[in-house]
Structure 1
Amino acid sequence: MLSNQENKKICFIAVNSAWYQSNPALYYLRNALEGLPYHFEIYEFIPDEPLFDVLSTIVSSKADILCFSAYIWNQLYLKLLIPEIKKLLPETKIVIGGPSALGEDYKLNDSDFIVKGAGEGVFRYLAENNFSLEGGIYEVPAPSLNTLPFLYKEEDRAALEGKLVYYECSRGCPFHCIYCLSARDNRKELRFNPESSEDRTRLYDEMEQLLTLKPRTVKFVDRCFNLNPDLAHLIWDYVIQMQADCEFHFEIFPELLKEEDLTLLAKAPAHRIRLEAGVQTVNPDIAKACGRSSNWEKAKKSLAFLCEKTQVQLHTDLLAGLPGQSMASVLHSLDELASIFPDEIQLGSLKILPDTPMYDLAKQKHYLWLDTPLWQVLRTDTLSFAELSTLNALSKILNLYWNKKEFNSEWRTLLDSGKKASQLALSLLAYHQENHIPLHSISRQERYNIFAMVSNL
């Protein structure tokens, strides 16, 4: 069953969304080969790279097995890349996994493998069988998260230095928001038991190992990092006390923040902690229709404290296109969020992702959306295409005039005087459109001139 393994080479291939990104899935699969005599290499590309150049690198690797992680941001690229690989390397086997591995035609053949679900168990199983099993879809229970070895090795530093490095302490999400890929993920796994001294020691050791990689940012991929407050406190407290040159990014559910969380986060030095708060909407009825429990007033107080009393960087998310959401509702959410002055406001458009409950609801309500990644919504039962186009443009205005933090004092003066953030943003958008000014790549001086003119400061 294991014969000739020592002669086989495996290449793990990622197509990341940007040059500073990395792909933790490849490192998990690499570690799943522990004790098996394969040779392996890791290659990471971005979608902007010419297909021919990527093909040249892959073909020159002379690999027997090529492994890909498929996501919404690289799905189209892989659908172009893999068929060309099959032309040039007809005997090379493909293993593809990830959220976008199923339901798409990558032009695989009968000897190739599609991984369903978490990949560590499946990949180990295929490797132990020398990748000689019949091709097709495979699903094997993955080892528990708390049994997996630390993701990275010392030799990974060359590839990861200066990049966004991912790390996880939990798998699964209890909130089941209908538009999220985790809506049907019922796992409740913790990597560390905060009450175990052995686990705490292992956690601190892994945190220190992360620093040796010299990352640009350490991003915890937990869907709701503060779901387990004891573990969150351990990590935040350790991060605050570390001697670190990088930033630590956590995605939180703001309604779960408690006074002790805020007191602890107030101790964080500048540029150490970045929190991403997925508000999405301040309307409780719309949130409920999405499967979210929402208490905006509670969340607002906590987020305002973070903005006023801490040095934490706060990134906040809103979504346009949610069930039952009107233009006025989106703008009201923007005004409410702006009133607490977060560092960043991202106004995103709903994505109708396959294999989510939102996909089924969108069909029932006759939504229109792009049929290709990123499946951006085009029309809902309550928002027209013209309104969604305006909101999409408004998100770019926020990037130009809010998220760059060049006009913080001006925004505060305007909002404190009674002006609405949405009104000013729409006025800025109108000025750009009337004067045919692009919504990107304009100089700081031009931004200043436009902002001063529109706001009458």
Structure 2
Amino acid sequence: MKILLVSIDSKYIHTNLAVRYLKANCDFPVEVLEFTIKDPLDKIVSAIKKAAPDLIGFGVYIWNLLLIKQLTRAIKQALPARILWGGPEVSYDAESFLKDDPVDFILVEEAELAFNRLIHALIENSSLAEVSNLVYRDKGVIRQNPVDTIDILDSLKNPYLNPDDDEKIPNRIQYVESSRGCPFACTYCLASLKRQVRLFPLERVKADLDRLQAKGAKTFKFLDRTFNLDPNRVIELLKHIASNHHPGTSFQFEICGDLLTDQLIDDLHEFAPPGLFRFEIGIQTTNSHSIIAVKRKQNLEKLLTNIKRLQRANIIDLHLDLIAGLPGETWDSFRLTFDQVFRLHAKELQLGFLKFLRGTPLRRDAETLGYLYDPFPPYEIRHSPTLSEDDLDRIRQVEAMHSIYWNKGFLNATLRWITERIASPTDFFLNLANFYQTHHYDATRYQLADVFYRFDAFMKEKYPEIQVYAHHLLKQDYLAYHTLKPKIWWEQKAIHKNDILRRYYEYDKTFSLDILYKYALVTTAETGYLIALYLPEGLRLLYLK
């Protein structure tokens, strides 16, 4: 029997760990084909037909469900192969998929060992009733076998040893696990359905990281739902990474911010080099009623204190998460949350919208709670009893502007200065969105200079009292963002560049006149001149009063 696993990822750089686990833990040869959701249906079907498999396995996620439904129907018309689905999107509603789609088997939840048992049963023509985690049709009746959890994670064979992956490793994100499960019970989250926390041996994790780095891996993301449950274990692993990392690597972890101990933070600031670690911390909301409503355990005061400590040290890059639309959230409470969290000035703040994921208690109770959500993936909120569609539209406008003007890092110094002088960052971004709409600007297509020019025009129109100094900060941010001399977007009166550079040289002879003439861009500052020196080794910003 020829076995084919097909991954449909959201981007090429995402390494699908699931198919690699299945392949590594199967006793029979398995071929893997990888695509992205942007690949045409015909291209994927053609490649599958060429492989001529007897069994085709798809990992089904929220981002690829609709495409895989189409693929399954197309393949059933073209090939006699049987089709297997697995993954989080089908694990908690398997029976309905078997009723609606021409899929033969579904493996639910953790499928690495169950997949191998299924292949044995199919090849040996033995009973499918003995295959754990399997949902299938038996003479027209849908049957669901008992679900097993993999208690000893070290029993899984290593997914990182396939030599076929070696040439891809340097150009892809490497996903790593040091644990599975989450002890918390947030009602909107799939992780809450697997509350038993199990650990991979630390020596195994360390060896995997070292092996992947030796093969050129640069970017690592840990899949652990709460990486820092055990502070001692965390410190041991992070110290190993800090001591053995290769130049240019980065490691991201999902952190429960209020569980960070003072000692752990102090230790991190001692041994971690800047930029090596990135912590993703879910705040979700500062509305205490919403936190209670979703059964989330969160010490908000401790959480915010820890984030501020990490920010002050500037060693760990922070990615903060918010969710708009949680039970009890209103426009006013969202505004308070966003204002408070934005002013933490994390490197990235992701504002997402509540999703009603299959299997979660929140989806089960959505009608009772008065929610309406989109029936198609990603099952996003349409409205709630306390947030209208207009409210959510306003929040989406805030998110769109914030994504461009903060998360992309174009003009963060300018925004820091401005948001210290205005009442509400939420209102500021909403005003900016209205400005875009009034002037018919496209928030999805733009040149970098457009971002700055439009922002400057917005400040002149809406915030003239602080626009003059903001204009100078904008120019500084624009010049600092580039590595080569850019074309300026602002109007500038004629200046005598070489005269200014000679004056600067009299003041500071660090750089020769030849270097200044060759690499400098000169513009006016609030008082005097700003000199951007685009040297081969990097940018230097100089000032002359």
What is the TM-score normalised by the length of structure 1? 0.91
CA contact (8 A) 1:237 1:264 kept: no
Deviations 1:135-157 (A, max 9, x none): 44455525421322322115122
Matched, 1:229 2:208: no
Matched, 1:420 2:428: no
Change in 2 beyond 3 A, CA 1:360/1:140: closer
CA drift of 1:452 comes to 2.4
| SS in structure 2 of the partner of residue 405 of structure 1 | coil
* Structure 2 counterparts to residues 271-350 of structure 1, below 5 A: 271-350=275-354
Query: Using the alignment, how far apart are the partners of 1:365 and 1:154 within structure 2?
Result: 48
Letter in 2 for 1:222: D
Matched, 1:446 2:470: no
Query: Using the alignment, how far apart are the partners of 1:453 and 1:260 within structure 2?
Result: 47
Partner of 2:86: 97
Letter in 2 for 1:243: H
CA contact (8 A) 2:397 2:430 kept: no
Consecutive unaligned residues of structure 1, counting only runs of 5 or more, are 1-7, 193-199
Pick the aligned partner of 1:48 from 31, 38, 52: 38
Taking only aligned residues, the RMSD between alpha carbons, in angstroms, comes to 1.8
Deviations 1:343-384 (A, max 9, x none): 011111100112111112211022111110000100011000
Query: Using the alignment, how far apart are the partners of 1:82 and 1:211 within structure 2?
Result: 37
Letter in 2 for 1:61: A
| SS in structure 1 of the partner of residue 326 of structure 2 | coil
Larger Rg: 2
Query: Using the alignment, how far apart are the partners of 2:307 and 2:387 within structure 1?
Result: 28
Query: Using the alignment, how far apart are the partners of 2:147 and 2:408 within structure 1?
Result: 46
| SS in structure 2 of the partner of residue 269 of structure 1 | coil
CA drift of 1:216 comes to 4.1
| SS in structure 2 of the partner of residue 18 of structure 1 | coil
What is the TM-score normalised by the length of structure 2? 0.77
Query: Using the alignment, how far apart are the partners of 1:115 and 1:303 within structure 2?
Result: 40
| SS in structure 2 of the partner of residue 382 of structure 1 | coil
CA contact (8 A) 1:346 1:398 kept: no
Query: Using the alignment, how far apart are the partners of 1:86 and 1:32 within structure 2?
Result: 27
Pick the aligned partner of 2:101 from 99, 103, 107: 107
Query: Using the alignment, how far apart are the partners of 1:162 and 1:211 within structure 2?
Result: 12
Query: Using the alignment, how far apart are the partners of 2:449 and 2:315 within structure 1?
Result: 28
Matched, 1:12 2:5: yes
* Structure 2 counterparts to residues 249-288 of structure 1, below 5 A: 249-266=252-269, 267-288=271-292
Query: Using the alignment, how far apart are the partners of 1:46 and 1:357 within structure 2?
Result: 30
CA drift of 1:277 comes to 0.7
Partner of 1:126: 118
Deviations 1:408-457 (A, max 9, x none): 21122122234422121111111111111122221221111222233422
CA drift of 1:268 comes to 2.3
Query: Using the alignment, how far apart are the partners of 1:201 and 1:170 within structure 2?
Result: 13
| SS in structure 2 of the partner of residue 63 of structure 1 | coil
Query: Using the alignment, how far apart are the partners of 2:228 and 2:34 within structure 1?
Result: 31
Query: Using the alignment, how far apart are the partners of 1:118 and 1:404 within structure 2?
Result: 36
Kindly, what percent of the aligned residue pairs are identical? 29
| SS in structure 2 of the partner of residue 433 of structure 1 | helix
Deviations 1:328-354 (A, max 9, x none): 111111111112110011111100112
Query: Using the alignment, how far apart are the partners of 1:250 and 1:178 within structure 2?
Result: 22
Consecutive unaligned residues of structure 2, counting only runs of 5 or more, are 129-135, 138-143, 460-466, 471-545
Q: How many pairs align?
A: 437
Query: Using the alignment, how far apart are the partners of 2:31 and 2:149 within structure 1?
Result: 23
Deviations 1:276-305 (A, max 9, x none): 111100122211111112222211111112
Partner of 1:358: 362
CA contact (8 A) 2:184 2:195 kept: no
Partner of 1:408: 412
CA contact (8 A) 1:320 1:348 kept: yes
CA contact (8 A) 2:373 2:381 kept: yes
Partner of 1:197: none
Letter in 2 for 1:400: I
Query: Using the alignment, how far apart are the partners of 2:406 and 2:224 within structure 1?
Result: 27
Query: Using the alignment, how far apart are the partners of 2:301 and 2:211 within structure 1?
Result: 39
- Segment of structure 1 superposing worse, 235-244 or 71-80: 235-244
- Segment of structure 1 superposing worse, 39-48 or 261-270: 261-270
Letter in 2 for 1:127: I
Partner of 2:196: 187
Letter in 2 for 1:124: N
